[in-house]
């Protein structure tokens, strides 16, 4: 099954480009930008990746961004991820980026997005991998700050397919950002939102995401299984859930792979993704393998997970059909 999964054509709908910053590249950028890191080696840095909840991860995550200063830095960061994704037969990726985490450091929105965009274009031309960007608001910053970054994004809105919400959920419910998400919708952006795992009011926040924000997708969202009415509503709306098993295992007591299987059995459009693979070691292939092994998924289940990602993508129907045809061809040849 491992080789079958490795060879499958795939799509990724939940990956933070800043979360793909591998230690080796972090050291390279720090040296180029004449910055000192609090680690002597790559191994020392990896040993510091000892997370037991979301806040402990976010502390290291934002610390790591300090090396990202120039357009070239963002280009190299993004291109390195796309090379890795391509090597795992990822045909398409929707990548989150966190502009506020950079603008608060004095890095312009233009610098961030131009570097990422150059990498997207280069990877499309050289590797054939297609991508779209989702701009995330940081939920532990103010709603006014989110409105500000939304305005900054508008000159580049043809490069951005949607907006999302990430960072620390504690005390920062979806309703806090109702106004900015409504504004984003008027500008043609698709809407998604992190509903992180095992938060204080996970189920209530997912209901807010549906009823107050009216998102097109839910990121994470496994706690929806705790409410049968919520499950039914998600199925009714045909919403995609982007679940990240390896990262779950670092910030919660389990990878939630049994929950992924339960979602499949209920007919929910659940997908498997890598989240922040430089910090939670495992890209798309590793996450799918872990899910299959932990949950005892059959081949048809794994195929459905991949198909769900294609169908749940924010691509035109013809592009979705083309990816599904590649999947059917691959399966038929095995």
The share of the chain scoring above pLDDT 70, in percent, equals 100
pLDDT over 90 at 4, yes or no: yes
Least confident of 142-146, 165-169, 264-268: 165-169
Rounded distance between C-alpha atoms, residue 40 and residue 32, angstroms: 16
pLDDT over 90 at 63, yes or no: no
pLDDT over 80 at 51, yes or no: no
Closest CA to 105 of 57, 138, 133: 138
Instruction: Say what the pLDDT of residue 52 is.
Output: 78
pLDDT over 80 at 35, yes or no: yes
Q: Kindly state the helix (H) or strand (E) to which residue 259 belongs, with its residue range.
A: helix 257-266
Question: Quick one: 269 exposed, middle or buried, by C-beta within 10 A (0-12, 13-18, 19+)?
Answer: buried
CA 69 to chain centre: 22
Instruction: Say what the pLDDT of residue 53 is.
Output: 81
CATH class of 2-333: alpha beta
Q: Please tell me the pTM assigned to this model.
A: 0.97
At 162-174, the pLDDT tens digits run 999 999 899 999 9
Rounded distance between C-alpha atoms, residue 249 and residue 228, angstroms: 24
The share of the chain scoring above pLDDT 90, in percent, equals 89
At 243, the pLDDT band (50, 70, 90 cuts) reads very high
At 273-294, the pLDDT tens digits run 999 999 999 999 999 999 999 9
Residues whose CB falls within 8 Å of the CB of residue 220, separated by 6 or more in sequence, listed in order: 194, 195, 196, 197, 241, 242, 243, 244
Residue 243 phi/psi, 5-degree rounding, is -100, 150
What three-state secondary structure class fits 137? strand
Rounded distance between C-alpha atoms, residue 244 and residue 240, angstroms: 13
Residue 87 tokens read as: 């090597």
């Amino acid at each position: 099954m491992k080789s079958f999964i490795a060879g499958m054509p795939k799509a990724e709908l939940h990956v933070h480009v800043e979360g793909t910053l591998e230690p080796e590249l972090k050291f390279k950028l720090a040296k180029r930008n004449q910055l000192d890191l609090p680690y002597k080696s790559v191994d020392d840095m990896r040993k510091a990746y000892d997370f037991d909840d979301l806040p402990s991860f976010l502390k290291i995550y934002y610390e790591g961004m300090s090396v990202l200063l120039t357009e070239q830095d963002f280009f190299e960061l993004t291109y390195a991820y796309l090379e890795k994704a391509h090597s795992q037969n990822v045909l398409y990726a929707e990548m989150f980026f966190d502009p506020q985490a950079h603008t608060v450091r004095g890095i312009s929105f233009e610098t961030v997005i131009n570097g990422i965009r150059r990498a997207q274009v280069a990877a499309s031309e050289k590797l054939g991998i297609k991508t779209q960007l989702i701009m995330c608001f940081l939920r532990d910053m103010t709603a006014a700050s989110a409105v500000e970054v939304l305005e900054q994004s508008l000159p580049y809105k043809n490069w951005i397919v949607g907006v999302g919400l990430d960072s620390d959920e504690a005390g920062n419910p979806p309703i806090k950002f109702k106004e900015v998400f409504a504004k984003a919708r008027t500008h043609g952006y698709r809407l998604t939102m992190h509903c992180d795992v095992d938060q204080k009011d996970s189920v209530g926040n997912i209901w807010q995401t549906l009823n107050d924000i009216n998102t097109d997708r839910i990121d994470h969202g496994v706690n929806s299984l705790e409410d049968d009415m919520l499950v039914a509503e998600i199925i009714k709306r045909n919403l995609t859930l982007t679940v990240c098993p390896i990262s779950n295992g670092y910030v919660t007591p389990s990878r939630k792979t049994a929950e992924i299987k339960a979602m499949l059995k209920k007919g929910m459009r659940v997908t498997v993704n890598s989240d922040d693979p430089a910090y939670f070691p495992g890209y798309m292939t590793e996450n799918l393998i872990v899910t299959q092994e932990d949950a005892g998924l059959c081949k048809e289940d794994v195929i459905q997970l991949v198909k769900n990602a294609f169908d749940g993508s924010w691509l035109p129907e013809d592009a979705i059909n083309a990816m599904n045809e590649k999947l059917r061809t691959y399966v038929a040849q095995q």
